[in-house]
Amino acid sequence: MMMLFDMIVYDLSAEYEAALIITLLCIIISFWAVMREREDLHRLILTELVEIMCLVIIALVATDLAEALILPGLVVGIAEFLALSELYIEKEGLRKAPENVLHIEVMDSAPGIIAVIFVIYGIILSGFTGGAVAGLGLLFYFMCRGSSEKREIIETVSGYAWACWVVAFIVFMAVPQYWFFGVIIAGAGIFAKVVAKMSLIGTMNGDGGEGDV
């Protein structure tokens, strides 16, 4: 085997040859698996095994260039995998219309209280973390209660956040001695901005419409 390989592939280190032979064995195993499998979905998953073997061959080169080549190889593999899974869903008619599957009693009563607690705690934390916490509360609220006419408020809040940033920026530039005032304004701005962004996620549960915040 080694002799045969020496004739085909030459000028190579012994390690590379050995690794290549092992990889070829793995490739044969994975091809064998794809060939034997009859179930469509399992075949799709097994092709991913073949893709990994492909990356292994590239990785065997073991230089910086190989590192740069693995990424496009991976992207191609994932792109084909995604396309094929979409195709499989379409082929088997597995696509369902989205519906609100999660609907339990707690989601009617709890959101108000929980959202208030989160927002107050978020205000105490302030800044980016506080924005995230308060936004989580609002996200939960909008997910449970729906979001038909509340989007304008979010947009308004987001607009005020921009205004806060601009004011803080002007303070920093024009009157640097009041930097603490600027920091407070910017912190409030980022708080409002993160809240607005995160609660926007809560409005995405399928009732259409897109707010530009």
Partner 1 sequence: MYNLPSPQIEGEILAYIPFGDIVYYFSPYTLVLFIFALTFTALAILSRPEKQVDIAFGGDAYYTKEIPEKQMRFQRFMAISCGLATMAGVTTGDIFNFTLLTAMVGICNIGIVASVKNKHVLDNAYEYGILAMIGTLPLFGAAAIILATTGTLSLWEIFTPAVSVPVIAKALLVIGVIGEGMAPVYVAKAEITRAPGAPYVLMIHVSSLLMFLRVVEIIISM
The smaller minimum CB distance to partner 1, of residues 51 and 115, is found at 51
> Number of residues in contact with partner 1, rule: CB under 8 A?
39
Binding mask 25-44 for partner 1 (x = CB under 8 A): --x---x--x-----x--xx
Q: What share of the chain is helix, strand, coil (3-state, %, to 5)?
A: 80, 0, 20
> Is the Cα dihedral 146, 149, 151, 157 positive or negative?
negative
Task: Identify residues 75-104 at the interface with partner 1 (CB under 8 A).
Answer: 76-77, 79-81, 83-84, 86-88, 90-91
Torsion angle (degrees, nearest 10) of CA 46, 48, 51, 52: -100
The CA–CA distances, whole Å, from 134 to 60, 139, 143, 161 equal 49, 9, 14, 15
- Give min distance, CB of 12 to partner 1, in A: 7
The smaller minimum CB distance to partner 1, of residues 79 and 120, is found at 79
Task: Identify residues 54-73 at the interface with partner 1 (CB under 8 A).
Answer: 54, 57-58, 60-61, 65-66, 69, 72-73
> Is the Cα dihedral 8, 12, 18, 20 positive or negative?
negative
Q: Binding segment for partner 1 among 74-82, 102-110, 181-189, 199-207 (CB under 8 A)?
A: 74-82
Are 128 and 190 contacting, i.e. CB atoms less than 8 angstroms apart?
A: yes
The smaller minimum CB distance to partner 1, of residues 92 and 108, is found at 92
The smaller minimum CB distance to partner 1, of residues 87 and 166, is found at 87
Q: Binding segment for partner 1 among 8-16, 103-111, 161-169, 180-188 (CB under 8 A)?
A: 8-16
Torsion angle (degrees, nearest 10) of CA 17, 23, 28, 29: 140
Cα separation, 195 vs 133, in Å, equals: 8
The footprint of partner 1 (CB under 8 A) covers: 8-12, 16, 20, 27, 31, 34, 40, 43-44, 47, 50-51, 53-54, 57-58, 60-61, 65-66, 69, 72-73, 76-77, 79-81, 83-84, 86-88, 90-91
